[in-house]
């Protein structure tokens, strides 16, 4: 990998004394023509890392908000080629902001793992989260991504015990995504005590940055999680804004993301010294 944008961004956030803000939207929601403005709004609002969802007809890990976003995107005709075009154009506009594709194996492997990995590399994608391929069954996409210099970001859950964690970490890079609730996105809120316990366990097992997502919907939640994790992932709450405002969503997205970023900034001792 010629430039490790993920490592650079996590290091910059650590130096600033705050967690990275990681935001998620679905590519092509409501249409592929609307997505660039929404992605730009995420960056302008202060997102450090962006996850771009690849729409899929059966998003088993996602709740109603992202499921509806997938249906809006697919209904508007979004194709895989459009997602890579969006990613490449984003990279041209934002050369330093890490971009991660998140989705499901059917979409990623339809043309083969090497094709997918090559497209990621050509578009300037930094990492991939494949939700439904467990590490024990990863004979295809992981090796292809690593060969192309793309981070494979793995998921750990509340049920990932000490016996299985080494398998999850084997071949993982970029960061480790801790799924804070045992369920689908957007429906439950993570219990802070459980998050703190899980992050401590994961930090004892790996040097990878630990990002926490699923069930993070407010600035207060983000700030609390950001005090213990290296990154905070917010998705469904942003996707709900897109669902409510459609092609006029960008300014509302920017304002919401800015509030999240302000909450994370407030955790930083540098920020508190400046504000004093």
Catalytic member of 51, 138, 140, 240: 51
Are 227 and 267 in contact, with CB atoms under 8 Å apart?
Answer: yes
Give Cα separations from 214 to 144, 167, 177 (angstroms): 27, 22, 10
Are 108 and 128 in contact, with CB atoms under 8 Å apart?
Answer: yes
Catalytic member of 29, 34, 48, 62: 62
* Active site (annotated) includes residue 230: no
Residue with tokens 């801790």: 178
* Active site (annotated) includes residue 62: yes
Are 41 and 25 in contact, with CB atoms under 8 Å apart?
Answer: no
Q: What is the DSSP string of 166-195?
A: HHHHTT--S-EEEE-SSS-TTTS---HHHH
Are 215 and 24 in contact, with CB atoms under 8 Å apart?
Answer: no
Distance between CA atoms of residues 267 and 104, nearest Å:
34
Residue with tokens 């967690």: 19
30: preceding bond cis by omega (within 30 degrees):
yes
Residue with tokens 């899929």: 56
In the sheet with 210-213, reading across from the earlier edge strand, the strands are 151-152, 127-130, 99-103, 49-53, 20-26, 231-234, 210-213, 176-179, 155-156
**Catalytic residue IDs:** 51, 62
């Amino acid at each position: 990998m010629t430039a490790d944008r993920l490592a650079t961004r996590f290091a910059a956030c650590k130096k600033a004394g705050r967690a990275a803000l990681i935001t998620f939207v679905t590519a092509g929601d409501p249409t592929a023509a609307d997505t660039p403005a929404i992605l730009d709004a995420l960056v302008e609002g202060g997102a450090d890392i962006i996850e771009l969802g690849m729409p899929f007809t059966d998003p088993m890990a996602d709740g109603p908000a992202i499921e509806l976003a997938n249906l809006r995107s697919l209904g508007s005709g979004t194709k895989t080629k459009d997602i890579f075009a969006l990613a490449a154009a984003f990279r041209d506009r934002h050369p330093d902001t890490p971009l991660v594709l998140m989705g499901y194996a059917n979409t990623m492997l339809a043309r083969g793992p090497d094709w997918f990995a090559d497209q990621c590399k050509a578009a300037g994608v930094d990492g991939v989260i494949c939700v439904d391929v467990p590490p024990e069954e990863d004979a295809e996409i992981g090796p292809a991504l690593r060969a192309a210099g793309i981070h494979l970001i793995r998921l750990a859950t509340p049920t990932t015990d000490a016996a299985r964690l080494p398998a999850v970490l084997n071949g993982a890079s970029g960061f480790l995504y801790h799924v804070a609730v045992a369920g689908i996105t957007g429906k439950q809120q993570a219990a802070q005590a459980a998050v703190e316990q899980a992050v401590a366990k994961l930090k004892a097992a790996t040097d990878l940055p630990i990002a926490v997502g699923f069930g993070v919907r407010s600035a207060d939640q983000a700030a609390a999680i950001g005090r213990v994790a290296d990154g905070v992932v917010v998705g469904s709450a942003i996707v709900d804004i897109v669902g409510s405002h459609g092609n006029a969503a960008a300014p509302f997205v920017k304002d919401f993301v800015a509030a999240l970023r302000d909450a994370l900034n407030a955790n930083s001792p540098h920020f508190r010294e400046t504000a004093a």
